[in-house]
Amino acid sequence: MRPVCGILPPKILEKLAEADQPDVREAARETLAVAADFRQNRIDTPSLTTPARPTQFVLTRTVYDTDNSMALPGNEVRGEGDAPTLDGTVNRAYESLGLTFTFFRHVYGRHSIDDANLPLDATVHYRRRFNNALWDGSQMIFGDGDGRIFNDFTLTHDIVSHELFHGVTQYTAGFVYQDESGALNESVSDVFGALVKQYARQQTAGQADWLIGAGLFTPAVHGQALRSMKDPGSAFDDPMLGGKDSQPNHMSGYIRTALDNGGVHDNSGIPNRAFHLTATAIGGFAWEKAGRIWYETMISGQLSENCTFREFADATANTAKQLYNSGSELTAVEDAWRTVGVL
């Protein structure tokens, strides 16, 4: 079953669906209804296998526009190599897809989502006031936001890269989108979304803000981002969103719930913090060593679809040892997972 993965925790939308402002309330309700429809119509697929690895890197981007309708993928508005359009949303999606492809090509030698030059398709202006960004199992979908709580979902590179990495996970570890494996699915998308943003800015681990979705909220919201990898639970504090960011930063705060597939967007804070601690302990550009450890772990073929935090922690430690022997990198990985209560 292909997962439908969105950047927003459903409980934020559920709270907004109770808002006093009719436009905010209706936008949230419509977004929730669309998400439910996507889940209901998911496609059963066998486990995905990567075709033979090509010898050349081929970037093929196509951006579609539904013109605020629900007809996917929409009309093609910019293909690979086309000149920029007059639509900033189209151009941002196109450039972010290219940046993410370039990052994985230059840093990890990966050929697109499937490592076999899979074309990158994205739809923008999906429906009206749609408050989410989605990976539906085959393409990326971006809403314009309602303009009251959320801005355009293409505004930041990390959101686009986050959704694209859900596709990478689909072709590699294949984490089931439920409980700890689902939280890992969300976490690795945050990790590589953050790394693409840092790569674009040429920031070291110490210089980066480690925020996911900074700039997505309008000034009406008391919050700096959707999530903080450095300090899970601190990204926002606003009654419109249901109060304070509820991400735990330690296993002692792990949230056991039937909501959001077992709290995948909340509990991802634990492995997110472990990655931040690893990256800052190692220092330098986070994509070079910490990111390499996480990436090689994802493609190792050793992770189960129902991987637990402990299993993932052990796997990252094993990868660190294989890559860097028993040096400071291994110590950084093990110390990070101990700090968040996983080891």
Q: What is the mean pLDDT of the chain?
A: 94
Domain 179-339 superfamily per CATH: Neutral Protease Domain 2 (1.10.390.10)
Annotated catalytic residue within 125, 166, 265, 276: 265
How distant is the alpha carbon of residue 44 from its chain centre? 22
Cβ neighbour number for residue 87 with a 10 Å cutoff: 16
**CATH 3.30.70.1350 for domain 5-171:** no
**Which pLDDT tens digit goes with each residue over 191-240?**
999 999 999 999 999 999 999 999 999 999 999 999 999 999 999 999 99
Domain ranges of the chain: 5-171, 179-339
Lowest mean pLDDT among 43-52, 109-118, 289-298: 43-52
Rounded CA separation 196/168 (Å): 14
pLDDT at 240: 96
Name the β-bridge partners of 6.
Answer: 134
pLDDT at 46: 41
Lowest mean pLDDT among 43-47, 59-63, 86-90, 198-202: 43-47
**Sorting pLDDT into bands at 50, 70 and 90, what band is 137?**
confident
pLDDT at 134: 94
Q: Is 163 a catalytic residue?
A: yes
- In this predicted structure, the answer to whether residue 258 has a pLDDT above a threshold of 50 is yes
Name the β-bridge partners of 75.
Answer: 65
Gyration radius from the chain CA atoms: 19
Q: Which residue has the higher pLDDT, 4 or 71?
A: 71
**Sorting pLDDT into bands at 50, 70 and 90, what band is 17?**
very high
Rounded CA separation 69/56 (Å): 37
Rounded CA separation 334/332 (Å): 6
Annotated catalytic residue within 30, 163, 180, 186: 163
* Cis peptide bond N-terminal to 232, omega within 30: no
Please classify residue 81 by burial: count the beta carbons closer than 10 Å to its beta carbon, then call 0-12 exposed, 13-18 middle and 19+ buried: exposed
- In this predicted structure, the answer to whether residue 271 has a pLDDT above a threshold of 70 is yes
pLDDT at 2: 60
pTM of the model as a whole: 0.94
5-171 and 179-339: identical CATH topology: no
Rounded CA separation 25/304 (Å): 40
Instruction: Report whether 123 contacts 154 (CB < 8 A).
Output: no
Q: Is 157 a catalytic residue?
A: no
- In this predicted structure, the answer to whether residue 165 has a pLDDT above a threshold of 90 is yes
Instruction: Report whether 215 contacts 296 (CB < 8 A).
Output: no
